[in-house]
Amino acid sequence: MRSLRNILVIATTAATVVVFTVMVVALYVSTRIKLLNRFDNSLLEKARLLASTIEYDDDGDLDLEFKEMDMREFEAGAEGYLQFWLDGDKLLYRSPSLGASDLNQFGGTDEEPAFSWVDLPEGRRGRAVGYTYNPRFDIDYDEDKYEYDDDDDEKDKAKKLRKKLKKERKIERARSRMKPMTLMLGRDTGPIDAILGDLFTQILVTGILAVIILAGVLWFVVRRSMKPLDRLATQISQVGDEDLSKRIELAKAPSEIIPVRDRLNDLLSRLEAAFQRERSFSADVAHELRNPIAGLRSTMEITLGKEREVGEYQEAIDDSLEITTQMQDMVEKLLSLARLESGQVEIKPEDVALNELIDSEWKTLAESADTKKLKVHWESGEPVRVTTDASLLRIVVRNILENAVSYADEGGDIRIEVASGNGKADISVSNSSSKIDREQAEHVFKRFWRSDVARTDAGLHCGLGLPLVKKVAEVLGGTATVSTSDNGDFKISISVSNYEAG
């Protein structure tokens, strides 16, 4: 199982190990380079010092003065190795540490001494510096000695000149005997490797300890900071299907969890509201079906209770039929609503002439409007067209017209208006209604809500017509609104845009 906690601990620890390793390697390498540099410098320094002690004298003989210096480091078994050659390969001196072996020459000049790794006797390894140079020529030549004084006579002068020439010839001779000297100075690097090894071991041990401690601390800290997630899970698990009113509290939650908690609580609120709606809707449906069923049952039971005249049976059947029709109407509206809500309705857009739609729907209502002596203000006029689903729009038109006829005051007015423009069509139907006030008007789109007026002839209206209108209008991408005017007009306005798929 992927665990955030493990991922965090492992990733952080691994990253630390990598960073640490890189650091250690860099440190090791740079320290080693620095140490070797110093090593080389001290080698060169020593070499120069030794080299400077070798001189040619007036006779052109080499004077190996270094032999009188402290040469302990070159003794047998010591770490220093020294070898001099004259004129290339004529061995001049070999330190006792070298025994019978030689250091390899690898070039280098006085200006640019060469450094190299070398294999040393007894299987040792070390660094060496080497270069070829001309040893100093230590002559005892004092010019002044041969300068003429004012009081010198010719003889003295000639003597001085002869002496000077003799000296110069001697020097010349000695100079011609001078040969270049090659020096190799090596030293075992064992001590450096030992220091580096120690350093490396120490760093490694410290590092491993640090990583282990870090991983432990990380694990603890991550575990601690993940606690709110556990609490969140516990709290979520306590939210049951039965009771959605519970909210996730999670006091002292870290800022990363707060949005999660808040979104979850939002979700719970929406779920609760939806469940509540669903529950009360089911209760409403049950309630609304009980009345007509009670009506049907008692009508039938009472009629069957004793022998009756034919006319009474007919009346009872008429009554039952009427109840059945109302129930059918209600069930159909409920099914329409349910279908619209679950998105099972396919919208087939076509060009609809609104005027014709209103004319055809009005035909079925004209008679009841006449009975109520309603004055209808409706002029078909210029055709108003809209691209939408004709059968759904028909539901809207039928219901708002029915609503107007049902609730208009006796002898009142009904005003139907249509308009179009900006890619949409508006329909508004208003009726004079002294019994519905502004406050009540706000409820007309609620399911099963009926005004007291509607309740008075209970059964005729199930309180689903206008909610259906609103739902259909929304599905068609439009709106349905109601308004009341001060002179007691109740108005429903529908606005439907040209339908665009998607």
Q: State both tokens at 89.
A: 């390969």
The least CB distance from residue 310 to another protein, in Å, is 16
Dihedrals φ, ψ of 143, to 5°?
A: -55, -40
- Choice between 450 and 470, CB closer to another protein: 450
- Choice between 80 and 463, CB closer to another protein: 463
The least CB distance from residue 243 to another protein, in Å, is 17
Give CA angle at 372 (370, 377), nearest 5°.
60
Nearest CA to 397 out of 456, 472, 312, 320 is that of: 472
The least CB distance from residue 463 to another protein, in Å, is 11
Nearest CA to 91 out of 82, 128, 173 is that of: 82
The least CB distance from residue 449 to another protein, in Å, is 12
| CA torsion angle 108 113 114 116 (round to 10) | 140
H or E element at residue 262: helix 257-304
The least CB distance from residue 477 to another protein, in Å, is 36
- The rounded distance, in Å, linking the Cα atoms of 220 and 9 is 9
Cβ–Cβ under 8 Å, residues 425 and 385:
yes
The least CB distance from residue 416 to another protein, in Å, is 28
- Choice between 26 and 458, CB closer to another protein: 458
Chain-centre distance of CA 351, in angstroms?
49
The least CB distance from residue 454 to another protein, in Å, is 8
CA distances from 224 to 37, 228, 258, 266 (A): 50, 8, 16, 26
- Choice between 258 and 283, CB closer to another protein: 283
- Choice between 49 and 294, CB closer to another protein: 294
- Choice between 441 and 453, CB closer to another protein: 453
- Choice between 25 and 293, CB closer to another protein: 293
In a 3-state reduction of DSSP, which class is residue 501? coil
DSSP lists the bridge partners of residue 182 as: 85, 132
- Choice between 16 and 291, CB closer to another protein: 291
CA distances from 150 to 141, 143, 147, 153, 156 (A): 22, 16, 10, 8, 11
- Choice between 122 and 410, CB closer to another protein: 410
The least CB distance from residue 329 to another protein, in Å, is 14
- Choice between 30 and 298, CB closer to another protein: 298
The least CB distance from residue 240 to another protein, in Å, is 21
Cβ–Cβ under 8 Å, residues 188 and 126:
yes
Q: Interface residues with another protein (CB under 8 A)?
A: 283, 286-288, 290-299, 301-303, 305-306, 316, 319, 322-323, 452-453, 455-459
- Residues 6 or more apart whose CB falls under 8 angstroms from that of 103 comprise 81, 83, 118, 128, 130, 184, 186
The least CB distance from residue 452 to another protein, in Å, is 4
Give long-range contacts, CB 8 A cutoff, 24+ apart: 292-301.
292/323, 292/326, 292/327, 292/330, 292/459, 293/327, 295/319, 295/323, 295/459, 296/320, 296/323, 296/324, 299/323
H or E element at residue 94: strand 90-94
In a 3-state reduction of DSSP, which class is residue 248? coil
- Choice between 71 and 300, CB closer to another protein: 300
Chain-centre distance of CA 383, in angstroms?
56
Q: State both tokens at 159.
A: 């003597």
The least CB distance from residue 319 to another protein, in Å, is 6
Give CA angle at 379 (433, 388), nearest 5°.
90
- Choice between 246 and 435, CB closer to another protein: 435
| CA torsion angle 199 205 209 210 (round to 10) | 20
